[in-house]
Chain A
Amino acid sequence: MPLVSFLDVEKTYRSLQGVDYPAVEHFNVEIEPGEFFCLLGPSGCGKTTVLKMLAGFETPTTGQILMEGRPVTGASRDRGVVFQGDDSLYGWLTAVENVEFGLRMRHVGKAERRERALRYLELVGLRGQEQKYPAELSGGMKQRIQIARVLVNEPKMLLMDEPFAALDAQTRSLMQVELARIWQATRTTVLFITHDIDEAVTLGKRIGVMRAGPRSQVKGVVEVALNGARSRTDDAFLRYYKAVYEMIRDEVAKSIVGAS
């Protein structure tokens, strides 16, 4: 049984002027337990919309989203979210206190939650930075705090909305390696949103390519049969890159024409 199923999901936004905009329609996808699923699509196609619905921040206009067979009705600690920006961090808490947040809400004892938080800070390579405040950390460090904060909470699933989009190329590829390592270690199910083909092929086990909006849906799914460390110069890597690229090329063109 899939961990998550989107069943014919539609989301229509109503603008302040009362005009309806159908962002996604007939959206169908299944995500298997333990899998790293990348959702790829041109800007504005509705990726964040899909993630927000699964997270429980928005409700579908029609259709249903099931997790373990039960409909998603609101936010829950089953689905940890890593946000695109860094304004989800709590500026008045230190790095380790940010990571402890979920445990503190569940009344886990002080000593235990500190120990667990430090373990996850170690996992994301931030040991030694635990007493710093978010304002004192770099963009990449802040994203890693977000990842640790979610992982320590042991969700059934990780939802990540372009978590590395704002980072420079070097930091981004370091973070990708780090995330791949963390995923190998924890095997948490991941829904990873990106508009970067290279990132999708580097990380994803399956890549869902979305059409340009409005009424966006999944155009096709590419299964990436690469294991372990992936090298951008491998023939196989390039083959997958090409496959995805060909699928998305027209959609990007459409989204640009549509926008102008």
Chain B
Amino acid sequence: MIRDSDGAARRALSGYGGYVLGFISLFVIWQLASLYLVSSVLFPPPTVVFRKGVLLVRNGVLLEHLSASLQRILAGFIAGSLLGIPIGLAMGSFRPVRRVLEPYTEFLRFIPSVAMITVAVIWFGIGEASKIFLIIYTTIFIVILNTAAGVSAIAPDKIRAAQSLGATRAQIFIHVAMPATVPYILTGMRLAMGNSFTTIVAAELIAANDGLGKMLWDGRLFMLVDEIFVSLVTLGLLGFVVDRMFRWSIYTFAGKYSPAT
């Protein structure tokens, strides 16, 4: 009886209950810290930030910046993944392709996307194109690397079994190599999504007319500290939600596409 309710409590904690508790404690500590520890206008308590946030949602400003950033991330992320997956599959499957493309991936992945901002602005201007280019850039290499690694991690016996069951090369590619690689692809995409957040904020800080990064920059220019905090919290929440969605889909697929089996 006692054990049972104990188990239920632990389950609730490890589920959503745990998150709620964690977030509440985060805000409580923040509130206490800003009231007693560093009581200053430069470190607003969550209540102030929240009120400001509500205001910015009401007048549509926050949503405008949020959707600007989100659209850029999604466009670049989807394009980068759609390019990266087939390239990674080809590199993992065919040695000549790997030989030819590896110099590119191995060279370019060490140039951080933040360092590419200047070039992107020179090439594509301050509009959407430069931001989408940067997100593609930051997405594509991680997706390629993970996909290719996934292909080379396929157990040789999986391929051999298909061969002696009469599958053609094309069938092996579609029915064995691709599904066996799905968990690796999703993991690569999840990492890429994290990078996209870094990149978009950096790019918008430097060159944009809207977006959460621009909001941060304006906040600094005009000393609107609560606005800075609103955009920080928005970034954190947005990232959290998107990452949860990824984890959920990886988890859902993992039952079927788990590489362990």
Q: Are B176 and A75 in contact (CB under 8 A)?
A: no
Interface stretch, picked from A87-95, A169-177, A247-255, is A87-95
Q: From the candidates B155, B171, B257, name the one contacting A87 in the complex (CB within 8 A).
A: B155
Across the interface, which residues of B come within 8 angstroms of A56, CB to CB? 163-164
Q: Does A21 touch B at the CB level, under 8 Å?
A: no
Across the interface, which residues of A come within 8 angstroms of B164, CB to CB? 55-56, 75-77, 79-81, 155
Q: Are B179 and A135 in contact (CB under 8 A)?
A: no
Across the interface, which residues of A come within 8 angstroms of B182, CB to CB? 92
Q: Does A105 touch B at the CB level, under 8 Å?
A: yes
CB pairs A–B below 8 angstroms (16 shown):
A55-B164, A74-B163, A76-B166, A79-B164, A81-B160, A85-B157, A88-B161, A92-B180, A102-B165, A105-B162, A106-B166, A133-B261, A135-B258, A149-B165, A153-B166, A155-B164
**A contact residues vs B (CB 8 Å cutoff):** 55-57, 74-77, 79-81, 83, 85, 87-92, 101-102, 104-106, 133-135, 149-150, 153, 155
Interface size on B, residues (CB 8 A): 25
Q: From the candidates A75, A88, A155, name the one contacting B158 in the complex (CB within 8 A).
A: A88
For A78, give the chain B residue with the smallest CB separation: B164
Q: From the candidates A105, A134, A150, name the one contacting B261 in the complex (CB within 8 A).
A: A134
In the bound complex, what is the Cα–Cα distance between A76 and B180 (angstroms)? Answer: 22
Q: From the candidates A57, A88, A102, name the one contacting B166 in the complex (CB within 8 A).
A: A102
**Which 6 pairs show the lowest CB-CB distances between chains A and B?**
A91-B261, A77-B166, A75-B163, A102-B165, A88-B157, A87-B155
In the bound complex, what is the Cα–Cα distance between A56 and B166 (angstroms)? Answer: 12
**B contact residues vs A (CB 8 Å cutoff):** 155, 157-158, 160-168, 171, 175-176, 179-180, 182, 255-261
In the bound complex, what is the Cα–Cα distance between A225 and B171 (angstroms)? Answer: 44
Distance between A147 CB and nearest chain B CB, rounded to angstroms: 12
For B154, give the chain A residue with the smallest CB separation: A87
Q: A77-B165, A89-B261 are in contact. List 9 more A-B contacts (CB 8 A).
A: A79-B164, A81-B160, A83-B160, A87-B155, A91-B257, A101-B162, A102-B165, A149-B165, A153-B166
Across the interface, which residues of A come within 8 angstroms of B161, CB to CB? 81, 83, 88-89, 149
Across the interface, which residues of A come within 8 angstroms of B158, CB to CB? 87-90
Distance between A249 CB and nearest chain B CB, rounded to angstroms: 32
